[in-house]
Amino acid sequence: MRVMSTEAPDAAVPLKDATLAATPPMGWNSWNRFRCYELSEEVVLGIADAMVTSGMRDAGYHYLVVDDCWQAFARDDAGNLASHPKRFPSGMAALGEQIHARGLKFGLYLAPGRKTCAMIYDRYPAREIGSFGHEQRDAQTLAGWGVDYLKYDWCKANRGGTGLDFEGAFERMAGALAETGRPILYSISEYGSSRPWQWAGRYGHLWRTTPDIRARWSSVLKIVDRQHGLAPFAGPGGWNDPDMLEVGNEGLSEIEARSHLMLWALLAAPLMTGNDLRTMSAVTRELLTHPGLISISQDVLGRQGERVARHGSLELWARALSDGVVHGVLNRGSRPTRVELADGVVRAAGRELLRLSGAAVDVFAGRALSAGGEEWQLAPHEMLLLRTSEC
C-alpha cells in the first residue's frame, strides 16, 4: 500500500525541470475533437496507433494527452481518482503502458478546485474529482500511472470556499509534482486570466494566454491578436500557449488551417494537435508533419515571433531563428492580393513590405526563391512564409 505524505512540499525540491521543454511541446490532446462524452480508451489507443503510422510521432508529436472526462464520477474509498469504468475499463496505468509501448508519452488532465470544467460546462455528473485538498495524492497517483504531462485547468477553482488564487493553486501542484520525483511536463491553464506569463514560468512549461479556441477563423485571429507583446515572456523551458490546434477539424478551410499552423510556429506555441488522427486527410497529415514548419516551431533559439507591421489587410510577421529569420505575410482581407519579390524587396500593390538578405526559401513550397524574382497570389486568409539565412 502506498503511504501518502501529509507534510508540506519540501522547499529544497526544485519546482521545475526546464529541460523538459527546451522547445515548444508537441503532441495530441483529446479535447478539441472528442470533447467530453466521445472520449474513450478505444479512441485514445486508435489515436496512439495513428500517431505512429501517420508519421506524427516521428515528426516530433510525442505527447498524447487525455483531457477532461477520463475520470470515474467519484473518488474511491481511499480518496484516489480512478478512470471511468465504462469508457476506460482497463484503467489508466494500463493505458499509459500502451502509450509508452508505442514510443509516446502520456498526458492527463486535472483541475485545482472542487470541479473540472466538464462538471461546470458539460454536466459531467461527478463529485469532488477536483484536486483541491488532494494535490499530493493526485500527483502521486499520476506518477504511479506513468504520466509524463499534466494539464492543470483552473475551472473556477476559487469557488466553493477553496480560498485558492491563481498563482497559489498552480504553485501547489508544482510542488506536489516535484515531490513525486517523476519528470512531468506541467501545462498551466487559466486562459490568460491573471497574466500568467508574468508568473507561470516559475512552475510550468506552458501557460495558456487566452480563452478556448474554436475551429473558426475568427477565433484563430482573436487569439492571435491577444499574443501581441507576450514574446519576451517565452523561451526555452517555458512557453506562451495560445491553445491547442484546430487543424483538421471542421470549420477551418485548408488555407485557414495552414495559416493557423504557420502562426503557431511563428509564435513558438506548443503544437498540440486536436483532430482525429485516425481519419485525417493526406492534406492535413502533410501539413501537420511539414518539415519546414516544424523546424520553425522547434528552432533551438526559442525566440517567439511577432507581428511587426500592418499594411491594409496584410500583416507582416517575423521570428528570429538560430540561423536566420522567417518572415510571414498574412492576408487578413477578403480579397486575393498579389505579392511580388524583385531585387530582394517584397512588395504588394507597389508598396515595400520587407527586404530579404541572403538566400531565401518559400517555406511551405519547400523551394529556394529564384534570383530573377517571384510572384504570389495570396488568397483571403492565406499566409506566406519566407525564411532567410541572414538577419
* Residues assigned a catalytic role: 153, 212
**Does residue 59 contact residue 289 with C-beta atoms inside 8 Å?**
yes
Residues constituting the chain: 391
**34/61 with CB nearer ligand GLA:** 34
3-class secondary-structure state, position 188? strand
**Does residue 266 contact residue 321 with C-beta atoms inside 8 Å?**
no
189 is an interface residue for ligand GLA by CB under 6 A: yes
138 is an interface residue for ligand GLA by CB under 6 A: no
Query: Which residues within the stretch 101-120 sit at the binding site for ligand GLA (CB under 6 A)?
Result: 109, 116-118
**9/107 with CB nearer ligand GLA:** 107
153 is an interface residue for ligand GLA by CB under 6 A: yes
In whole angstroms, the minimum distance from the beta carbon of 217 to ligand GLA comes to: 19
At 201, list the grid cell.
Answer: 514560468
**129/221 with CB nearer ligand GLA:** 129
At 295, list the grid cell.
Answer: 523546424
In whole angstroms, the minimum distance from the beta carbon of 164 to ligand GLA comes to: 17
105-110: strand order across its sheet:
239-241, 206-208, 185-189, 149-153, 105-110, 63-66, 26-29, 271-273
318 is an interface residue for ligand GLA by CB under 6 A: no
DSSP 308-343: EEEETTEEEEEEEETTEEEEEEEE-SSS-EEEEEET
For residue 100, the one-letter residue type is: H
In whole angstroms, the minimum distance from the beta carbon of 323 to ligand GLA comes to: 34
In whole angstroms, the minimum distance from the beta carbon of 187 to ligand GLA comes to: 10
210 is an interface residue for ligand GLA by CB under 6 A: no
Beta strands (DSSP E) in 228-301 are 239-241, 271-273
In whole angstroms, the minimum distance from the beta carbon of 118 to ligand GLA comes to: 4
d(CA 101, CA 120): 35
Strand pairing category for 337-342 and 324-331: unpaired
Strand pairing category for 337-342 and 360-362: unpaired
d(CA 174, CA 154): 14
In whole angstroms, the minimum distance from the beta carbon of 207 to ligand GLA comes to: 12
In whole angstroms, the minimum distance from the beta carbon of 249 to ligand GLA comes to: 14
**157/361 with CB nearer ligand GLA:** 157
**Does residue 227 contact residue 267 with C-beta atoms inside 8 Å?**
yes
d(CA 52, CA 236): 26
41 is an interface residue for ligand GLA by CB under 6 A: no
At 284, list the grid cell.
Answer: 492535413
At 120, list the grid cell.
Answer: 461546470
- Judged by CB under 6 A, how many residues of this single chain contact ligand GLA? 10
**68/135 with CB nearer ligand GLA:** 68
34 is an interface residue for ligand GLA by CB under 6 A: no
67 is an interface residue for ligand GLA by CB under 6 A: yes
68 is an interface residue for ligand GLA by CB under 6 A: yes
From candidates 17, 128, 167, 212, binder to ligand GLA by CB under 6 A: 212
Can you say how many angstroms the Cα of residue 54 is from the centroid of all Cα atoms in its chain? 19
From candidates 21, 23, 28, 31, binder to ligand GLA by CB under 6 A: 31
**117/234 with CB nearer ligand GLA:** 117
**190/315 with CB nearer ligand GLA:** 190
Enumerate binding residues for ligand GLA (CB under 6 A). 31, 67-68, 109, 116-118, 153, 189, 212
